[in-house]
A = this chain, B = another copy of it.
């Protein structure tokens, strides 16, 4: 694929055009009762209602569509993913009629593995923390002449995720709101990078924050250090979608000067946020998808008197974990 250079705002507009008839144009949702309790305005961008149940469809569909524009005979794609990018790629490949091979950790949620297969993709497992998914991916890509679609360190993927930022700006302007901040859940940093590029052009006065689970706060620490930091482990959070070892090279280059700070919340905060999203917004969030809301609930950021959009990134969660969130 592309040499990793930063996508431009024009690349985001191109992505928006590619996604126009395929992606869900998610609205902003708001709960007057919750606002009363919080003393500020919280709007959520419900990307769990996106095709394949997570925002990842945006980047995957944009990338595969662009690849086919360049090479109409593209034989197939390959990627590695803990689950949501896997489903986004599998569905996008199926929509285009090309083959997809997905490298997934053996401890990924059952629902994510099953759905990836159901979209027609071939799933190859690796042991999280023991094998390098990047290596497996590059080897298989070579052997089988597949094109690698990286989950975040890829300009076309970042541009696709950036359409979230364009839509937020459109809605905020239509509603006549002054938006203080956007909070984006952060794994490898692709979503925040894309949103950063959109905000820079459309809402330059709005601050951008990332949200991560405890022990996987590599972006928060990298922003403070000014250089990419790694996490100690690759397992151990309920937020399976956000357990990346470190920020991407390209995504960090984009985020480091544009993200104001990295916020952190615990697994317990994420479960509380899932219940709150059930009660006030009637949406199904997976733990990682609720982490941005969790940083408001735990006070990592103060919403008093402010207007904040939190992106809720996905809803691919097993029944058992959801019941746990509702039973607390």
Contacts and interface: CB of A to CB of B under 8 A. Distances in A.
Interface in A158-206: 174-176
Contacts of A33: 115, 118-119
Nearest to A322: B326
A282 B48 contact: yes
Interface in A39-74: 46, 48-49, 51, 53
A278 interface: yes
B51 A27 contact: no
A227 interface: no
A279 B283 CA distance: 11
A319 interface: yes
The copy count of this chain in the complex is: 2
Interface string A270-292: 00000100110111110000000
Contacts of A211: none
A26 interface: yes
Interface residues of A, number: 40
A227 to B, nearest CB: 37
B283 A49 contact: yes
A6 to B, nearest CB: 30
Given A21-B175, A175-B21, A284-B284, A32 B94 contact: yes
Contact of A49 (B94, B281, B323, B326): B281
| Residue of A33, A48, A95, A285 ringed by the most chain B CB atoms within 10 A | A33
**For chain A, what secondary structure do more than half of its interface residues adopt (helix, strand, loop), or is it mixed?**
helix
Contacts of A30: 51
Contact of A323 (B29, B36, B316, B323): B323
Interface string A248-288: 00000000000000000000000000010011011111000
Interface of A: 21, 24-27, 29-30, 32-33, 36, 46, 48-49, 51, 53, 91, 94-95, 111, 115, 118-119, 174-176, 275, 278-279, 281-285, 315-316, 319, 322-323, 326-327
The 7 closest A-B pairs by CB, nearest first: A282-B315, A48-B282, A282-B284, A319-B326, A33-B118, A24-B27, A323-B323
Given A49-B282, A319-B326, 8 more contacts: A21-B175, A25-B27, A33-B115, A33-B118, A49-B283, A53-B282, A282-B284, A319-B327
13 contacts: A21-B174, A27-B49, A32-B91, A33-B115, A33-B118, A49-B49, A278-B319, A282-B283, A282-B316, A319-B326, A323-B323, A323-B326, A323-B327
